[in-house]
Structure 1
């Protein structure tokens, strides 16, 4: 079995270079896989499955072709940008939606996550995240007219850009990662969110236990994806 893991494409438009890189990946890399896991921030913004555009429709069509023509099973986990992607769009694209975190069934020692939940030192962000992931808030937001949701998204994006000026993305907390890994009986966390591709040990005060993390890249510059073949350890591979 060959499993591939990607995250943080932040797809914005059909003519964006990242979109072309993704088409190349789907044509040249993904067809050889048995499973493809997309671990969040697939799209830059998502305001509801009813707000379709040419980009989202094209992505869904290409993913479904990958599934039907090459028998690749597709999995999607929401990130902090696209947490409102629902079952309707996942069905349209042929993807199975995963909870966060998610133990890898073929190897329970591996835990999958987008990663933002483990950024516990960013207290203000965690407060906002808790509100946005509340099903009641989501139902209320999605019930609003499309024009209001578009206006909200634009305002939120402007505020986010202002907040990010001179701001470095908060890394995942080692304690939070280890706590979650222990909760699921896993040793390795594969995640995105921080855009710093690497495979490294997680420092732990708990002697006798070793934990690792594999961080996936964004797709703006150097692109890395993770690959697992059968029971071998995961590899971080540069895509060019």
Structure 2
């Protein structure tokens, strides 16, 4: 059986086709897997487990159905849904993982992560990331009324889009030295991540490789690890 990895689905109520495509993926592809790893940005935005969004409820039911069938499901936070908490995870039946984790699959030592911590050339983003990951600030934010949280996130998103227009593509991509440093520290021969929306499998020195997941904007993207190797699949939402 295969182990599947996805990231950057960016589910939101404004994109029902993506939601339907992801639900179809869970019913038809993930249901046949040994395990599913979601490497961040499952949702476009997350303002707290107490958000009564029908979309969140729908996804929780689908993931719970998957895990109740015996398919393990793991989640690493992304830069959009880093506030997703233990309550929602329990509702889904998924296991929350730290920022990066090493897994052993098919004789390979694989380090998995969302990928934003690898973009070290983008110093302004890394400063922002350190700020919003302060626990006291997160706890304060979660005490605010839902409407205010949503407004703050909306304004932050507009500001982020404005700032990113002045950055080069290379600035927002991963830094090669950071990739090697993480892999060396993890003693890994394979890295799997998302975030950059640049799906590819890169051969690295020392017979190592870096597999990058694509975003689910126009099609699905999944990395499959099995006895056949590591394969990046791109597919229509309802294939």
Q: Normalising to structure 1: TM-score of the pair?
A: 0.91
Q: SS state of the match for residue 128, structure 1?
A: helix
Specify the alignment match of 2:182 in structure 1. 180
Q: Look up the match of 2:136.
A: 136
Unaligned runs of 5+ in 1: none
Paired residues, number: 233
Matching of residue 34 in structure 1 with residue 63 in structure 2: no
Question: Which residue of structure 2 aligns with residue 171 of structure 1?
Answer: 173
Preserved contact between residue 14 and residue 55 of structure 1 (Cα < 8 Å)? no
From 222, 226, 229, give the equivalent of 2:226. 229
- Give TM-score scaled by structure 2 length: 0.92
In the superposition, relative to structure 1, how do residues 224 and 105 fare at CA in structure 2: closer, same or farther (>3 Å)?
same
Counterpart CA distance in 1 for 2:235 and 2:61 is 22
Note if contact 1:108-1:185 (Cα within 8 Å) is conserved in structure 2: no
Cα shift readout 1:43-69 (whole Å, capped 9, x = no counterpart):
00001111120000000001101111x
Structure 2 residues not aligned, in runs of 5+: none
Matched residues in 2 for 1:132 and 1:211: separation? 33
**Maintained 8 Å contact 2:189/2:207:** yes
Q: 2:78 touches 2:114 (CA, 8 Å); kept in 1?
A: yes
Q: Distance in 2 between matches of 1:65 and 1:187?
A: 33
2:100 aligned partner = 101
Matched position secondary structure for 1:104: strand
SS at match of 1:109: strand
CA contact (8 A) 1:14 1:54 kept: no
Q: Deviations over 1:137-194 (max 9, x none)?
A: 2112112222321221111122122223364551111100100110010011100001
Aligned alpha-carbon RMSD (Å):
1.7
| Distance (whole Å) between structure 2 residues aligned to residue 54 and residue 160 of structure 1 | 27
